[in-house]
Structure 1
Amino acid sequence: MSLLGGLGRSAGLFLGLVCALPVLADDITVATKYGDVTVSDKVERIVTVHEGALDAAFALGFEPIGAISTRGGDGVASYIQETAKNVNIVGTSRETNLEAVIAQRPDIILASYRLPAEQYALLSKIAPTIVPQGKGIRPDGWIREMRVYAKALNREQKAEQIIQAVADRAAQIKTQLETKLPADQRGAALIRWMPQGALVLTTQFFTSGLLAQAGFEVTDSGLIKRGRPHSSPLSLENLSKIDNDWIFMATLDEEGQKALDAAKQSPAFARLDVVKRDHVIPVDGQLWTSASGPIAANAILDDIQNVLDSKVQ
C-alpha cells in the first residue's frame, strides 16, 4: 500500500469519527459535588444509593433497578414499597454493597450529598455517579437534589412542575389550617422515639419544612446543637421540654415502638398538655424521619390533611 493510500484511508476513518460526534453532543454534563460528570441523555438502568434519589427517580417517570434499604428496615420505606416492588436492594444507608451495584450494570448512580469521597471514587468506576452539592440539613434540600437528578436524567421541566405542585398543595393545606386553627394553637414539634428516649428533630429537617409550609409553627425547644439533625435522647423526667400544641411522634422500628408504648404508661407522659388534648399524632418514622423527595412530600401532606380533617373542627 502506498503512503498516500494509507493517509487516505486514515482521513476517511477520521471523517467517520467526526461524523459520529453529534451523537456524543447529546450527552449531559452535570455539576456535582465532585466536579462535572457527563452522562448519556438516554439512561435506562438507574441505581440509587440515597432514599431521596429513589423517590425523585420514580417521580420523574423512571423505574430504578437498585436502591438501598430504609433506616430501620430490610427494604425500601413502606410508603414507596408498592411502587418500588421490583427494585433490588444494593445496601443500606450506612454501607453500599459494591458487588450488588456492579451486578445491576447501571448506566448511572444517584447518590446523596453526604456520600464520602472514598465511596464516590469506587462508585464512579462502576458508572457515572451524581452527588449533589450539599449545604447541610435544609428544609428545601430535597428540591436542590431533585433539580440535580432531573438534570442528569434529562427531565428538568418535569421536575419544576413536580416541585411547584408540592408547593401549591402545601399552600392549600395552609389556607385550611389558618382558617381552622387560631394562631396560638399552631405550635408543633417532630419527635422520633428511640429505645433510649425521645429525640427532637431540627426545624431544618425535610418534614419540619413541610409542616411549616402547611401552616404549623415548628419548634425544637432549643434542644438541638447547631448543625445537628436532632437532640440528645430525653429522659421521661425531661419530657415537659417537648410539650407543645401538637407533637408528631415517629418510630422507626419495633424496638422504638415498644419504648414509646412503655413511655405512654408513665405519669410524666400523661402530664403533658399535648397528651391531654389528644394532639400527639403517631406517624410512620420511615416516611417522616428518613425519606425525602416529592412522593414522600405528598404522602406527608396526606397525613397532615388527615390531621386537619379528623382532629380540628
Structure 2
Amino acid sequence: MRHTLLQRGLLGMVLGGLLASTAYARTLDTAYGDVEVGDSPERVVTLYEGALDAALAAGIHPVGAVTTRGGDNVAAYVSDYMEAHGSARPEIVGVVREINIEAVLAQQPDLILAAPQLPDAQYQLLSQIAPTVVPHTQPLAADNWEAEARLFGQALNREEAIEEAISDVDQRVDAMADAVAEAQVGDNAYLVRWMPGGPMVMSENLIATGLLERVGLDVQGGELIGERGVHSDVLSLENLSQVDGDWLFLATLNDDGQAALDSAKHSAAFNRLNVVQSERVVPVNGQLWSSANGPLAAQAILDDIEKALLP
C-alpha cells in the first residue's frame, strides 16, 4: 500500500503540470472509455506485443516495451525487423503481467499502448503518466489483430500506414493462396504447441491458424479443443494419431518444450504418423505462432508457411 501511494504521489507531482499543458487533438474509443490523444506522439511505450508490432509497422519506434512471453527481450521476429530497419531496441519495462511502473515513468512517454484486459489498478496508474490506449476485449478470432492494429494506428495518428500494412498482408495471402492451390500440396493441417508435459492442439482462431486457412489449408483439431478456448488438453503420445493430417506445424516456447519434443521424436508413436513419414512436420517458433499479434507477425508467419508449402 505504501509503495502504491508513493507511486501515485510521485506521478501526480511530476506529471500534473505536464498533462495539464498537453494539447489533445483526437478522442479514441477504448476499453476504459474515451481517451484523448495528441496529434504527434514522439515517446511511445508499448505494454503488449501486438502494440509494439503495430507501432513498428506504422513507422514508430517505441522507447519502451515488455518482453515476449517466456523470454527476456522482445520477440525474435521483432528484433530481426528492428535490426533490418536500423532501429534501436526499446527499453524493457516489464512483462505483460508485471509492468514496472517506475520504468515506464522513466521513459517519459506521451502515449502508452497496452493490452486488452489490462487490470484497472494498472490502468489508473499508467493513465496518470500518459494517455493509455487499451483495446476492447474481443471473442477469440483469427482477425482480431486487424482491429487492434487499427486502434493503435489511430492512437499514433498513422492510420494510413496501418491500412497499408494490413493490405500488404491481404495481398500476400491472396497470392500465396493461388500458388498453394496450383501446387496441390495437401488439404489440411494441425498446429500443435509442444510443452514440457506434451503436445496441445492450438485453436483455429489464432492469427497463425487463420493465415493457414486463408492460404488454403483446412485447420483441424477444433473438436479436441471444445470449450477450452485457445488449446486442447495435453495429448498423450498414444493419441498422436488424432493430429495426423497432411501437415503438422510444431511450435515450442522454450528449451524445455524443445527437449520434450526432441524426446518424442525418438518414440515409435511419433514416427508412425503418416505426416512424419511424408516429411511434412514443420517446426516453428512458438512465441511467434501462438503468442504474437500484428501485421509484422502476420508477415513472419507467412514467411514460415511459404517456406514449408512453396519451397
Answer yes or no: same fold by TM over 0.5. yes
For residues 137 and 114 of structure 1, the distance between their equivalents in structure 2, rounded to whole angstroms, comes to: 13
Aligned with 1:56: secondary structure? helix
Q: Which runs of 5+ in 2 are unaligned?
A: 1-21
Q: Which runs of 5+ in 1 are unaligned?
A: 1-22
Asked whether the equivalents of residues 180 and 310 of structure 2 are also in contact (C-alpha less than 8 Å), the reply is no
Offset of residue 116 of structure 1: 2.2
What are the equivalent positions in structure 2 for 1:52-91 lying under 5 Å apart? 52-82=50-80, 83=82, 85-91=88-94
Offset of residue 238 of structure 1: 1.5
> Does residue 1:164 correspond to 2:157, yes or no?
no
Select the structure of larger CA radius of gyration. Answer: 1
Offset of residue 243 of structure 1: 1.3
Structure 1 runs of 4+ off > 3 angstroms?
A: none
Bigger mean CA offset, 109-118 vs 53-62: 109-118
For residues 235 and 88 of structure 2, the distance between their equivalents in structure 1, rounded to whole angstroms, comes to: 37
Match of 1:154 in 2: 157
Bigger mean CA offset, 194-203 vs 157-166: 157-166
Offset of residue 239 of structure 1: 1.2
Aligned with 1:223: secondary structure? helix
Offset of residue 241 of structure 1: 1.4
Q: Which whole-Å deviations, capped at 9, do the CAs of 1:82-128 have from their partners, x for residues lacking one?
A: 41642111111321111111111111111111222222222212211
Q: Which whole-Å deviations, capped at 9, do the CAs of 1:210-229 have from their partners, x for residues lacking one?
A: 11111111122511132611
Match of 1:118 in 2: 121
For residues 173 and 64 of structure 2, the distance between their equivalents in structure 1, rounded to whole angstroms, comes to: 31
Task: Count residues with an aligned counterpart.
Answer: 285
Aligned with 2:193: secondary structure? strand
Letter of the 2:303 partner, please give it.
D
> Does residue 1:245 correspond to 2:246, yes or no?
yes
Match among 176, 179, 184 for residue 176 of structure 1: 179
For residues 207 and 117 of structure 1, the distance between their equivalents in structure 2, rounded to whole angstroms, comes to: 30
For residues 38 and 88 of structure 2, the distance between their equivalents in structure 1, rounded to whole angstroms, comes to: 26
For residues 224 and 119 of structure 1, the distance between their equivalents in structure 2, rounded to whole angstroms, comes to: 32
Match of 1:33 in 2: 31
What are the equivalent positions in structure 2 for 1:6-25 lying under 5 Å apart? 24=23
For residues 153 and 93 of structure 1, the distance between their equivalents in structure 2, rounded to whole angstroms, comes to: 21
Match of 2:193 in 1: 192
Asked whether the equivalents of residues 204 and 222 of structure 2 are also in contact (C-alpha less than 8 Å), the reply is no
Asked whether the equivalents of residues 79 and 89 of structure 2 are also in contact (C-alpha less than 8 Å), the reply is no
For residues 221 and 48 of structure 2, the distance between their equivalents in structure 1, rounded to whole angstroms, comes to: 26
Asked whether the equivalents of residues 270 and 276 of structure 1 are also in contact (C-alpha less than 8 Å), the reply is yes
CA RMSD of aligned residues (A): 1.5
Match of 1:3 in 2: none
Match of 1:15 in 2: none
Aligned with 1:72: secondary structure? coil
Letter of the 1:145 partner, please give it.
E
For residues 194 and 141 of structure 1, the distance between their equivalents in structure 2, rounded to whole angstroms, comes to: 25
For residues 116 and 38 of structure 1, the distance between their equivalents in structure 2, rounded to whole angstroms, comes to: 20
For residues 28 and 127 of structure 1, the distance between their equivalents in structure 2, rounded to whole angstroms, comes to: 14
Offset of residue 271 of structure 1: 1.1
Aligned with 2:95: secondary structure? coil
Aligned with 2:97: secondary structure? coil
